[in-house]
Every structure is written in structure tokens, then in C-alpha cells.
Structure 1
Amino acid sequence: MKATAPRHQPWDVRRPPRAEGKNFLVTGGNAGIGYFVAEQLAGTGATVVLGSRNPAKAEAAAASIQSRVPGARILQVRLDLAELASLRRSVEALKLDRLDAVVHNAGVALDDPPRRETRDGHELMFATNHLGHLALTRWLAPLLSAAPAARIVTVGSFAAKSERLDLDDLQSTEGYRPKRTYGRSKLAQMHFGLELDRRLRAVGSPVTSVVVHPGGALDSLTPSRPPVQVRTSGERLRGLPAGLVVQGKHAGAWPAVRAVLDPRIEGGELWGPRVFGLRGEPRREPLWSHLTDTAVAAQLWDASCDLADIDPNLGLVA
């Protein structure tokens, strides 16, 4: 009896499908997980745009990718998510006719206790990690709508799993604690990605929104990419025990890369590492219980659009 081929080939994180002719934007693509998302997407033949607030770091990242991926098509755009008023100009500078996917990856985490604000008076982590990506989506809307089936991929954080939003204090004006504020800012962004997909589906848009998280991703377990990422032998040895539980940032990029490229992934899904959500190849996860609260997501949406002075339809869900 002749064996039949499987309906779907298993996903290979090291050999993703080709994507020639497509345009992908990765925010924060010059460092960390964003760099490895960009490097892996560049290997598919797509044009990858590195969104970075530091042109010199973006140039170094582009050179690193091009040295490892022959023929890589890399563009750069200055992108400062903490400066909401600058984002429209950044999108205009792209000079693209369409965008097949954006990976909302960039973020800032503050270790020092003092609370910091942007020029607009927003708490820095909430503004950069959440409000900036919301506003960026608004200005990217025409480019995303011009693609046949564009995808918006939001990179959350495992740190958000243990947090809950305080809708009366979204910007941590009271009881500010850096780690909690960071986790809540990423939780807000994950709520945004899921609420966005609900609204896109409600109007029959071909654009979809997917949420991912990298699990536990450490520098000590990340391969070197000088000068972007440098890991010494000592750091590698010290990080080996942690490798039983977590992984490097190259592996932390896998859920986002799959969410961009795999046509079987549907909007409104959550993807993360296979082993306890901390390490391993990407898999679909059940939505965390607090991420299923659509009332919180809707209230956050309205409050965030008001804070960012953005039309709640975002140009995508009109």
C-alpha cells in the first residue's frame, strides 16, 4: 500500500519557507531578539527593514546580517517609539508600496528605580512598549492594507503572565516598581494584539494579528554576532546550567518568525516556546486566563488611543 505524504510538513525553525518579494518591518531589529528575528527573516529572501532609534546600531546590525546571509536585502528606518509625533514621518520614510508583516518587538526595560517620562509626559516603558506600537500601527495601516494578507505580530513577554493591568493607573504614577511596570507594559501590548485581531475580524479585514512571546531568553545562551551580540567563553560556561530551563535570544526569535511566515497560524492566537513556555521550538499556547478578558482589552484600547491621540479605528478597522 502506497504511503501518503503528510498534509503539512513539520515546521523547521532552521529552514523556514522562502518569502522572496515580501517586505517585513522589525521594530528594535538592531539588537536582542529583534536582531535574530531580522536575521532569520532575511534568510528567506524577503526585504527586511530594521526599525531602530540608533542609526549607527542599525548599520552594524545590517552589516552583521549581510555577512551571514548572502544577498540579504536589508533596509533601515529611524524609529523612536517613545516619540509618538515622529512615527508618521518614520513610516513615510519607508518608501514601500506595501508591508507584508510588522513585528512589534522593540521595548525598553528600566532597572533603576526612578520613574521616567517621555516628552509627551507618558511613563517611558508604557509609552515605548505599548503606546508607540499602537501609534505605529495607525501609520502603517495603508501599507499593511495594500498587502494581500498582512500580519501584525506582537512580541509580548513571559513576565506579563503574572501581571494584571490597573486600568486606573496605566502609567504607574503610584507605587512604581520597574519590573512590575515592565510586565504590565508588555501585558498591555499583548492585550492590544488580541483586541486588534478581534476588531479586524469584525470588519472582515484580510490583515491578521498574532501574539507571541520568547519565553526565557538569556544573553549567555545567545550565539555571538559581533558587534551586535558578543558572548565570551566565560559567559557561555556560566550560562550552561540555565540552558536546561531557558534558551538564547536566537531561539527566542522563533515564535515571531513562525508567526510571520506560517500561513497555518490564525489571527488571535498566542505562540511561545514548547517546553513550559520557556524554551524549545514554537507552539500554539492556550490564551492565558487574563488575556481572555475582552472587557479589559476594550477599555485598554480606548484609554490607549486617547493617550496616544490616535483614532480608535487605527485606519485598519474602519
Structure 2
Amino acid sequence: MPTSTTWDVRRPPRAEGSVILVTGGNAGIGYFVAEQLAATGATVVLGCRSPAKADAATAAIRARVPGARVRAVRLDLADLSSLGDAAESLETERLDAVVHNAGAARDDPPREETGDGHELMFGTNHLGHFALTRWLMPLLEAAPAARVVTMGSFAAKSERLDLDDLQSRTDYRPKRTYGRSKLAQMHFGLELDRRLRAVGSTVSSVVAHPGGALDGLTPSRPPVHERTTAARLRTAPAALLVQGKHAGAWPAVRAVLDPAVRGGELWGPRAFGLRGLPRREPVWDHLADTTVAARLWAASRALTGTDPSPSTDCQCGGFCSCPP
């Protein structure tokens, strides 16, 4: 079995029989996570908002991976009321892993909201995955040792949550709001593992981040992604510091497949957290703040009306949808 010293990103272990959901698997890093997992023989399900983009991604994966077991389900993380139906549409008895990768990013104002009235990036990136996990947890518990892998961002390293303004209502700055939404996701992934351990669950939760990943350093995967010569030349000098999205997928893929990975760990690129082979890195100091994580969890539960962690106290079968 592979260990921390023998992992080969180009030859990960086989995973036939496993069923893995990748949210946002139709584009960017999520596409490469899905492609690399499909190459192991796993059944990969792409959770996508756009059926057309899902079709393009599944076709691209099948072109690269002969015999790939890949399919798609419609998933809109910005619509909390739809997530139960999305989970049911997986049509599987168990789920061996989910990669929480999908996300919204905005570079410019104005501030936007989901249909549920949440700031778009926080509502999609964090609250959507928080609520989705509640619906997936019975399927994850049905697997022998399932993993929840939450894809954070290096941008979150310099951010701190404002627990009094999680929705960026009073001070909206798009890039900062994005970084904070990813930080919230990472807090969620670590807090989820603490809660799973507390009840002796067989499910574990791991956090990963891709480092610096640029389109111009990413190999073409038409029609999902086509790298132009101009883009390649323009970003070539950046390859000393960052990498393409295919390499940005490596930490999440390892977090799913490597038997040496443990719940509560953080995985990212080896070189300064920005590029290179995947490795376990120390949990960032501000991510280790369990008080912040607990307060974020309570706020997320109130905002979504659900709780993804198993509980021995609730009245709904252990996966709480009781009123907060």
C-alpha cells in the first residue's frame, strides 16, 4: 500500500468499486480531480449546475480515460432546498468519498445573493457544502471508511473570519469575501472531523488546498479548457512559483485515496504551499482555533436549518435536520 514516502501522483492506487462525488467537477481544478480519480477505476459522479457543461466534462474524461466510469447529477449549491433531491439523484447505496470543490468567485462588486438570501460566495462555497453534507452523510456512513475532502484555498491563509458579518453585509470586498468563504469551508472540514471522532464515526474529514493554480499553466482539455499559446507564454515565468490546475488537483486526490491520510489533516503542495507534489502540512494557526470553528458551525446551522454531523441527541436518525 502507498505510504507518505511512496505516493506517485501519476500512479495513484486503484479504486475500482468506489463511488466518489466531485462537486464542480465540470471545470477547473474539480475537472482534474475527477479525471485523475476516474483513471483509478473509481465511479466518479460530477455534481454540476449546468447539464451542458457536465456533458462536456464527462466527454472529455472519457476521451482521456478509456472505459471511465463517470456520470453527472445536477447540483446547485446556491439553492439549499434542492440539495436533498440532488443527493437522492446519486442513486447509490453508499458513497466512498465526496470532494467539496465547487465554488463561486466574484472579482468585482456589486454584492450578490443566492435565492436563499445569503451572500453568493459564502452561501455557495460554505453554506451549500455544509448543508449538502447533511444529505450525503447516510451514504458516507454506509461505506467502510468514507472521506469528506474539502477543497480550501491558499487565499484563506491571510484571511480571518468576521463572525459578526459572515455575509459581508457591512463591508463587502469581493476578493476578501471569497477568501473568507474558503476559510469558512476549511474550518468546516476540520470541525466536521472533530465531531465525527466524538461519536466514533467511520467517516473522516480532510482539508486540502491547491496552492497557486493558473489556467495558463494548465494542459488543454477541450472543450472544458483550451490553453492558448499566448496564455502559455504569458504565464510561463510564473511556473517557478505556481502550477497548473492539473497539479492543483493532486492534494485532493491524495486526500481521497492515500490510506496513510487521517482525518483532521491539511494537505497542500510541497513548495511553500504553492506548487509541487502533495504533502501534509501543519494546520494553520488560525484554522486550529476551535472556538471560531464552533461559533461558525452554530451560525451555519442556524442559517441552513440543518446540521451535517452525526448526533446521538437528535430525533431524526442521527443526521440532524431538527430545528436549530
Provide the TM-score with structure 1 as the length reference.
0.96
Provide the residue aligned with 1:294 in structure 2.
290
Paired residue type of 2:47: G
Is the 2:137–2:319 contact (alpha carbons within 8 Å) kept by the matching residues of 1? no
What CA distance in whole angstroms lies between the structure 1 residues aligned with 2:58 and 2:5? 31
Provide the residue aligned with 1:148 in structure 2.
144
Judged with a 3 Å threshold, the aligned counterparts in structure 2 of structure 1 residues 142 and 7 are, in CA distance, closer, same or farther, namely: closer
Provide the residue aligned with 2:60 in structure 1.
64
Is the 2:44–2:70 contact (alpha carbons within 8 Å) kept by the matching residues of 1? yes
> Which of 115, 118, 124 is the aligned partner of 1:119?
115
Where do residues 250-261 of structure 1 align in structure 2 (5 Å cutoff)? 250-261=246-257
Q: Deviation of residue 311 (structure 1)? A: 3.2
1:102 aligns with 2:98: yes
1:201 aligns with 2:197: yes
Q: Deviation of residue 237 (structure 1)? A: 1.1
Is the 1:137–1:314 contact (alpha carbons within 8 Å) kept by the matching residues of 2? no
> Which of 237, 240, 246 is the aligned partner of 2:242?
246
Is the 1:214–1:272 contact (alpha carbons within 8 Å) kept by the matching residues of 2? yes
What CA distance in whole angstroms lies between the structure 2 residues aligned with 1:313 and 1:274? 31
Provide the TM-score with structure 2 as the length reference.
0.95
What CA distance in whole angstroms lies between the structure 1 residues aligned with 2:308 and 2:23? 22
Judged with a 3 Å threshold, the aligned counterparts in structure 2 of structure 1 residues 9 and 111 are, in CA distance, closer, same or farther, namely: closer
Paired residue type of 1:228: V
What CA distance in whole angstroms lies between the structure 1 residues aligned with 2:245 and 2:163? 32
What CA distance in whole angstroms lies between the structure 1 residues aligned with 2:81 and 2:123? 12
Q: Deviation of residue 7 (structure 1)? A: 7.5
1:75 aligns with 2:65: no
1:219 aligns with 2:211: no
What CA distance in whole angstroms lies between the structure 1 residues aligned with 2:240 and 2:159? 25
Is the 2:3–2:258 contact (alpha carbons within 8 Å) kept by the matching residues of 1? no
1:92 aligns with 2:88: yes
> Which of 225, 229, 233 is the aligned partner of 2:225?
229
> Which of 210, 219, 224 is the aligned partner of 2:206?
210
Is the 2:30–2:102 contact (alpha carbons within 8 Å) kept by the matching residues of 1? yes
Judged with a 3 Å threshold, the aligned counterparts in structure 2 of structure 1 residues 38 and 205 are, in CA distance, closer, same or farther, namely: same
Provide the residue aligned with 1:41 in structure 2.
37
Provide the residue aligned with 1:51 in structure 2.
47
What CA distance in whole angstroms lies between the structure 2 residues aligned with 1:231 and 1:101? 30
Judged with a 3 Å threshold, the aligned counterparts in structure 2 of structure 1 residues 7 and 25 are, in CA distance, closer, same or farther, namely: closer
Q: Deviation of residue 227 (structure 1)? A: 0.7
Q: Deviation of residue 220 (structure 1)? A: 0.1
> Which of 301, 305, 310 is the aligned partner of 1:309?
305
Judged with a 3 Å threshold, the aligned counterparts in structure 2 of structure 1 residues 170 and 314 are, in CA distance, closer, same or farther, namely: farther
Provide the residue aligned with 1:283 in structure 2.
279
Structure 1, residues 148-181: CA drift from partner, whole Å, max 9, x if none? 0000000000000000000000000011000000
Is the 1:301–1:312 contact (alpha carbons within 8 Å) kept by the matching residues of 2? no
Q: What is the root-mean-square deviation in Å for CA atoms of aligned residues? A: 1.5
What CA distance in whole angstroms lies between the structure 1 residues aligned with 2:248 and 2:266? 14
Judged with a 3 Å threshold, the aligned counterparts in structure 2 of structure 1 residues 257 and 313 are, in CA distance, closer, same or farther, namely: closer
What CA distance in whole angstroms lies between the structure 2 residues aligned with 1:317 and 1:94? 18
Paired residue type of 2:15: A
Provide the residue aligned with 1:262 in structure 2.
258
Q: Deviation of residue 313 (structure 1)? A: 3.5
What CA distance in whole angstroms lies between the structure 2 residues aligned with 1:143 and 1:183? 30
Is the 1:109–1:182 contact (alpha carbons within 8 Å) kept by the matching residues of 2? yes
> Which of 16, 19, 22 is the aligned partner of 2:18?
22
Is the 1:245–1:279 contact (alpha carbons within 8 Å) kept by the matching residues of 2? yes
Runs of 4+ displaced beyond 4 Å: 6-9, 314-318
Paired residue type of 2:186: M
Is the 1:91–1:139 contact (alpha carbons within 8 Å) kept by the matching residues of 2? yes
What CA distance in whole angstroms lies between the structure 2 residues aligned with 1:38 and 1:61? 9
- What SS does structure 2 have at the residue aligned with 1:240? helix
What CA distance in whole angstroms lies between the structure 2 residues aligned with 1:304 and 1:143? 22
Q: Deviation of residue 142 (structure 1)? A: 1.0
Gaps of 5+ in 1: 1-5
Gaps of 5+ in 2: 312-317
Paired residue type of 1:181: T
